Chains A and B, each alone.
Chain A
Amino acid sequence: MADETTIDSANETPETVDLWVAGTEEAEFQPTTEGDQEIGSAESKERLAEQFGSVVEDDYVFDDEVADDDRMIVNMGPQHPSTHGVLRLQIELEGEIIRRTKPIIGYLHTGMEKTAEQLTFGQGPTNVTRMDYLAPLHCELAYSLAVESLLGIEVPERAAAIRILMTELNRISSHLVALATNGMDIGALSMMLYGFRERESILAFFEKTTGLRMNHNYIRPGGVAADLAPGWKDDVSAILADLPGRLDQYDDLLKENPIWLARTRGVGVISQEEAIAFSITGPILRATGVDWDLRKVFPYSGIEKYEFEVITGENGDVYDRYRVRVLEIVESLKIVEQVMNAMPKGDYRVDDRKVTPPPRARIDESMEALIHHFKLFTEGFKVPPGETYVAVESPRGELGCYLVSDGKANPYRMHTRAPSFYNLQSLPITMADSLMADTVATIASMDPVMGDVDR
């Protein structure tokens, strides 16, 4: 017996069930009068139907033109995991494309130039060494050369050779960090481990020679602080034997890797004219094809005796900068080998007792040695008035020291021309009209060291 309200079969709906369907002529919505509120009396049927969800109007409108106020300003930093220090970027994004960038720096400003005026000339290297903390020996070298230029003294050949040995090893360790962080930022995490592993052997040599792994205060006006440790040739030979094989490992990982190529080729391109206009120097400039290397053009500390080549790239993109750095490690290894084989014998610092402290053993024997030592470490040596600008080729570019002296024992004005400070100005140019995801690769390839930038 088919009741009107029962279901005949599972697939049939009973006809008497009153399915409320809005919009049909049969259904008439009766607003309820229950409760205190009266809903629906003032509103139209369609509106209520919309609210109850039985009518959906597709009112999503597509904007064909993207208006200017669709740009979004995104803040990146100063604390972010891309381990390049405290750089803050304000990026104006249009979708995924970067339109404008503004780097904001100053988060590591240490007042080193003001501190330098309070310290003596002999204490200066402790201050400047912490500027570019990945290449501290280069900072010390620029400062020491400036002081020696004002003093008018020449360091002995052995001191100059030791300086080149240490700075070229420092270039290698700095480029290893650049490769490590570059790799890690783009995603090749094992590159970070490889880079720091190699760096440990170089830092162990530094610790043996200078006493510290970083921020050595080793290259001082007048020479170097101490002679090379006995057995240094074995240590350097071990480094020279080890590194080329490791560099091949990195090449296996990165050089032909399609992911690496896709993420670095054509990314962060800067042209030669732009690079020169923005005073960019170092591997970034050489990657655009300009073979400008201060070691060849304005040689310092006897580096013209050693044979090496200046590595240049072609396109000025991230991949070329990476290649330039890897090949510069190879060139630095060549220089280190030549220095090691041709290390001259002699003094490791100038003999002028008014500038360099006497050996510790002499202090017990000689009154003058004691007085010199005392004067040098309390008052410091006086430098004749004058001004000078000396530049060395650091792993990041031209690192210069502008030093003004007025005849006292501390500098009147010490200014460092920091390479990363100028290299960062190119970020708005390289990042414009590129994708947001390429930001990290671009910054990593610029290899900024914020201690250098902010001083």
Chain B
Amino acid sequence: MRSGTSGQIGWSGDWEPQMNQVLAGLAEGFEDVTFSQSLGQDIASVPTDSWKAFAEAAKKAGFEVCCDVTAVDWMRQRPERFEIVANLLSMRHRIRLRVSTTIGREDPTVESLTPLWPGAGFAEREVYDMFGIIFDGHPDLTRILMPDDWDGHPLRKDFGVGSVPVQFKESHKVD
């Protein structure tokens, strides 16, 4: 693997055998989860129904920290519109795993990871605020960054930037 002066982030070669063990252990219970690698990073694509179950298994396997929960709006580019991405980190195995699931419905709902990792609480509120994705089981799913009475979900692709026209530069149009 790579480490050093390059812009690529990777793990040093010694860790590789252990990493495969951990992921292999995870993959045992879940046949519908596809593991892939991209740019040296491990990704697990999980169907929405097993989102929380897989996360629980990952936590048992050693991923104690949920670094980040975020979402991507693949508006017309992919069949399912929203992709929810969680970055997991295992301190004892020193590996990262990126878990993602896709939801296509207009009122997307997914299970919340907050009961497993309290640190995901704010992140899921932000995803709800910015994308409108509802997290089942979240203790306090309210708007966090925008005012409480704001209309719309700003990071969706059909929400315009909201820029004012300025001289010598056009306002950006929504695609």
Contacts and interface: CB of A to CB of B under 8 A. Distances in A.
B3 A304 contact: yes
A412 interface: yes
A387 interface: yes
Nearest to A392: B9
A454 B126 CA distance: 10
Residue among B7, B77, B119 facing the most chain A CB atoms (10 A cut-off): B7
Given A421-B122, A425-B121, A386 B5 contact: no
Interface of A: 105-106, 109, 111, 113-115, 118, 144-145, 147-157, 160, 276-281, 290, 292, 297-302, 304, 386-391, 398, 400, 402, 404, 406, 412-413, 415, 417, 421-422, 424-425, 454-455
B172 A118 contact: yes
Report whether over half of chain B's contact residues are helix, strand or loop; otherwise say mixed. loop
A105 B145 contact: yes
B53 interface: no
A450 to B, nearest CB: 11
Contacts of B39: 149-150, 152, 386, 388
Contact of B68 (A113, A154, A387, A417): A417
Contact of A109 (B72, B117, B122, B145): B145
B91 interface: yes
Interface in B67-115: 67-68, 70, 72-73, 77, 85, 87, 91, 94, 96, 98
Contacts, number: 125
Contacts of B146: 106, 109
20 contacts: A109-B145, A111-B161, A114-B154, A149-B7, A149-B8, A154-B8, A276-B65, A276-B91, A279-B67, A281-B65, A298-B96, A301-B5, A388-B41, A389-B96, A391-B9, A413-B72, A415-B68, A425-B119, A425-B121, A454-B145
A280 B4 CA distance: 26
Contacts of A304: 3-4
Interface string B30-70: 00000000110100000000000000000000001111101
